[in-house]
Structure 1
Amino acid sequence: MTASQPPIAAIATAPGRGGIGVVRVSGPDVAPIARALCGQTLKPRHATYLPFLDATGDVIDHGIALYFPAPNSYTGEDVLELQGHGGPVVMQMLLARCLEAGRGIGLRLAEPGEFTRRAFLNDKLDLAQAEAVADLIEASTEAAARSAARSMEGVFSKAIHELVDKVIHLRMLVEATLDFPEEELDFLEASDARGQLAVIRANLAGVLAQARQGALLREGLSVVLAGQPNVGKSSLLNALAGAELAIVTPIPGTTRDRVRETIQIEGIPLHIIDTAGLRDDTDDEVERIGIQRTWDAVGRADIVLHLVDATDYVRNGLSPIDDQIDDRLSGVLPPGSPILRVVNKIDLAPAAGDAHFSSNRPHVVAANGPNPSEVWISARSGAGIELLRAHLLRLVGWQSSGNEGTFLARERHLTALRNAQSHLDMAAEQADQQAQALDLFAEELRLAQDHLNSITGEFTSDDLLGTIFTRFCIGK
């Protein structure tokens, strides 16, 4: 447990009106505050219904008081929770009374995330579990909430600790050999270091794959609909969302600004952004601004759906009328973000036996070479929409089966795992050298361990802690 810190207090429930509101106090000794507000000594871990009193003994509210003595509390300190009626005025009155009663022991308002930060500093949670608390609160889908709960229970942390234990064991063998150079043994052969390292790398790859899935659940995907005017971008937004969100007309240039909607596919939040049609020959200043905003959205996209008109596409020999758009999209997109060509309006295409519009033909076409893959759809009739949904997830690596054990992960977790993977790869290269440099081998293992430890907070800078916890809500 860390050195004693001054007690803190905050309203722990969301702003606004509700049936119940909670004021939380945490610190080294909150029993006097409890007696001042409740008029009696509270029995630990028992709910007591009573009046909450002001300094003159008048009743502020009636509610339930809970007292959790250290170390058996959320923060590891003494914790007092007052559950009253959830009106903003009565909550402020209770908080003010707590601060008044605790003035003599230095009670102050809590900073954002300070309760959970104290739980981390007092070894009640590791850093990955602490972050999962905020992720559970902010979860936008049921799948994300379940994954955050698993992370909060320690599933992610357990996987990291198992990796660290294996790295430590291998480091112990390497460094013991370095301490006794007179032992003329081939260390890598005698201890099966290569085999142990291969197991660690395989396990890390599995954890990284799960973390990527968890990151998708947490962050979702930014999907930008791009293309020339009147190719059906707004119709596709409406079809994906299942509601008439965007105005659809046959007039080119109807969409002047970005229209954003979040949908779910298999629990993954997809932030769909409908944009102004891409063309260079407009004299409309408003439309020009909308087109620039389209390119700005493309520059931040996880994936771009490039829509083309099916009739024009076939007439032009399976090439968009403006085939330079693909090149421009590729030049603006962030590295690694894919482009999916969506051939829309197949219901309006000529039906004279054209194989591309045969009802027996799959709507998904896998392209070869540098061209993006294609999905053939009708946003108006719904043909191919489900295939498009599935293809979107495949493009970003989502695996729909076997995700019951997925834990939520953040970008910093992915970065740490990738860095650890890189150092383990370097260790494997050292192991394959003819002249084995065990000191370099050991150093790569140490660096990999440091990156893994940063996930759970066993090796973490104060600056990073400040960044993480200040993003929490104040009562947490």
Structure 2
Amino acid sequence: MLYTPDTIAAIATAPGRGGVGVIRISGKDIQSVISGLIARPLKPRFAHFAHFQALDGSTIDEGIALFFPNPASFTGEDVLELQGHGGPVVMNMLLKRCIELGARHAEPGEFTKRAFLNGKLDLAQAEAVADIIDAQSEAAAKSAIKSLDGAFSREVHTLVDALINLRMLVEATLDFPEEDIDFLEAADARGKLHTISAQLARVMDTATQGKLLREGMHVVLIGQPNVGKSSLMNALAGEDVAIVTDIAGTTRDTVRELIQLDGIPLHIIDTAGLRDTNDTVEKIGIERTWAAVEKADLALLLLDSREGITEHDQQILAKLPDSLAVLRVFNKIDLTGDQAGEIADDEIHVSAKQGIGLQELKHKLLKKIGWQGMNDGVFIARERHLAAIRVAREHLNTADACYLQIEILAEELRLAQQSLNEITGEFTSDDLLGVIFSRFCIGK
């Protein structure tokens, strides 16, 4: 049964001027919109050149009209697309005419939401639509297309099918408690459970890589004044985004830059030097430094290689959150003659000014954030997906620990399946749907 409560319309192209603009309409009363706009019937899935008419019969614009009858459309409903000239005035005139003919303004993400509700996409695929639009790198776009094509969903469905088969074995024993353990051992139920757990771990690993592609990581540069934070920021960005001088305390506020490393978006944040000061403005900058540290995924502690780790550096390290990964970067090796590259797992030698050791640093950054390299199996993923997988993993671990308690085993397997179903939307609350689709752009 189609979800078609009313007819919706929106401008589907980006705001501003363009050669072509698109109006998208979807719902059950498309024919009234077509008859009011266009003076002839439309053949399904055929590009018609047409004049789009106002109420008085005058022409609003001319362009291409495409009609897609349900269910063979993006939303699964009747869909009309009008391709006209991409000026904002004419686009809004055309949209206003669609509203006059009975449509209403679409909400953010409502077209994709209807595609989900009408069974054209599952929830993971629907989210991939937004991820394709928001992709910050070519690698992220390719991975989002994989998710839209169903790569992630197929992995989840394989796990769910295996859980269903195992649940059938376990729950069948509930009617015959005197034979339950022997029956499960004969069916190798525990082996099947371990296989599912191993498969889940692989999906978790791939999804984690997909989340990195989608969201990237926040890396904060910290350290004492004049250790080269701004120079390193500029070297990583490939341009002068931060002011560099020999005067300590030049950077008084956070400076942010987005860079791409192997397709991973890294949000680099340069900060004010950490020191005791009576300067009011510098104090505010230092407060903002610590606020940036709280939100970061990785901290690069810049150190002057001529001085090594000083007592003040130790004090900075002691103040960092225990959960924050830290990489110590010994800078200015052009003044010491030290060898560039990795010293230890958490230490590296560079010269930001001369660009020495930067490739090694970039490689180290990717390693620290857990990036394993792009491959054909990576699909885009979100924190919501990872959270559901983590919950499913916890239930499987409990199921293994309580294997001899059949009622608990059955319940934990059910809860694991329920968590995985949340990824594709087979078990999803209306509140969650509202949050997900509200973040889409209008017209999608």
Smaller-chain TM-score range? Answer: over 0.9
CA distance in 2 between partners of 1:322 and 1:397 (Å): 26
CA distance in 2 between partners of 1:467 and 1:423 (Å): 26
Helix, strand or coil: the match of 1:443? Answer: helix
Does structure 1 retain, via aligned residues, the 8 Å contact 2:257–2:267?
Answer: yes
Cα deviations across residues 348-371 of structure 1 (Å, max 9, x unaligned)? 12x4xxxxx1x4xx621225xxxx
CA distance in 1 between partners of 2:181 and 2:264 (Å): 52
Does structure 1 retain, via aligned residues, the 8 Å contact 2:132–2:141?
Answer: yes
State the Cα distance separating 1:76 from its structure 2 match: 0.5
Partner in structure 1 of residue 142 of structure 2: 146
Helix, strand or coil: the match of 2:351? Answer: coil
Does structure 1 retain, via aligned residues, the 8 Å contact 2:223–2:301?
Answer: yes
Partner in structure 2 of residue 461 of structure 1: 429
Does structure 1 retain, via aligned residues, the 8 Å contact 2:216–2:267?
Answer: yes
Partner in structure 2 of residue 258 of structure 1: 254
Does structure 2 retain, via aligned residues, the 8 Å contact 1:75–1:115?
Answer: yes
Partner in structure 2 of residue 218 of structure 1: 214
CA distance in 2 between partners of 1:138 and 1:68 (Å): 26
1:208 to 190, 193, 204: 204
> Does residue 442 of the first structure (1) align with residue 410 of the second (2)?
yes
Matches within 5 A, 1:28-427: 28-102=28-102, 107-183=103-179, 186-280=182-276, 282-313=277-308, 319=310, 321-330=312-321, 335=323, 337-349=324-336, 351=337, 357=338, 359=339, 363-366=341-344, 373-400=346-373, 403-427=375-399
Cα deviations across residues 186-208 of structure 1 (Å, max 9, x unaligned)? 13311101110111011100000
CA distance in 1 between partners of 2:180 and 2:315 (Å): 65
Does structure 1 retain, via aligned residues, the 8 Å contact 2:294–2:321?
Answer: no
State the Cα distance separating 1:101 from its structure 2 match: 1.8
Q: Which amino acid aligns with 1:395?
A: K
Partner in structure 2 of residue 354 of structure 1: none
Cα deviations across residues 300-340 of structure 1 (Å, max 9, x unaligned)? 00000000100011xxxx55653111111235xxx3x3011
CA distance in 2 between partners of 1:184 and 1:231 (Å): 67
Q: Which amino acid aligns with 2:140?
A: A
RMSD over equivalenced CA pairs, Å: 1.3
Matches within 5 A, 1:12-31: 12-31=12-31
State the Cα distance separating 1:383 from its structure 2 match: 1.3
Does structure 2 retain, via aligned residues, the 8 Å contact 1:35–1:42?
Answer: no
CA distance in 1 between partners of 2:34 and 2:332 (Å): 68
Q: 1:412 to 1:115 in 2, by over 3 A?
A: same
Q: Which amino acid aligns with 2:394?
A: S
State the Cα distance separating 1:396 from its structure 2 match: 1.6
Partner in structure 2 of residue 470 of structure 1: 438
Cα deviations across residues 2-51 of structure 1 (Å, max 9, x unaligned)? 44311111111111110010111100230221122111110000010111
TM-score normalised by structure 2 residue count: 0.98
CA distance in 1 between partners of 2:96 and 2:417 (Å): 46
Cα deviations across residues 369-390 of structure 1 (Å, max 9, x unaligned)? xxxx101110011111111111
Does structure 1 retain, via aligned residues, the 8 Å contact 2:169–2:184?
Answer: no
CA distance in 2 between partners of 1:73 and 1:307 (Å): 55
Helix, strand or coil: the match of 1:55? Answer: coil
CA distance in 1 between partners of 2:291 and 2:164 (Å): 46
Does structure 2 retain, via aligned residues, the 8 Å contact 1:312–1:321?
Answer: no
Helix, strand or coil: the match of 1:251? Answer: coil
Does structure 2 retain, via aligned residues, the 8 Å contact 1:308–1:320?
Answer: no
Deviates more, 1:204-213 or 1:174-183: 174-183
Identity %: 61
Q: 1:320 to 1:393 in 2, by over 3 A?
A: farther
User: Unaligned regions of 5+ residues in structure 1, if any?
Assistant: 352-356, 368-372
Helix, strand or coil: the match of 2:307? Answer: helix
Helix, strand or coil: the match of 1:391? Answer: helix
Q: Which amino acid aligns with 1:427?
A: A
CA distance in 1 between partners of 2:392 and 2:143 (Å): 23
Q: Which amino acid aligns with 2:315?
A: Q
Helix, strand or coil: the match of 1:375? Answer: strand
Does structure 2 retain, via aligned residues, the 8 Å contact 1:61–1:85?
Answer: yes
Q: 1:249 to 1:97 in 2, by over 3 A?
A: same
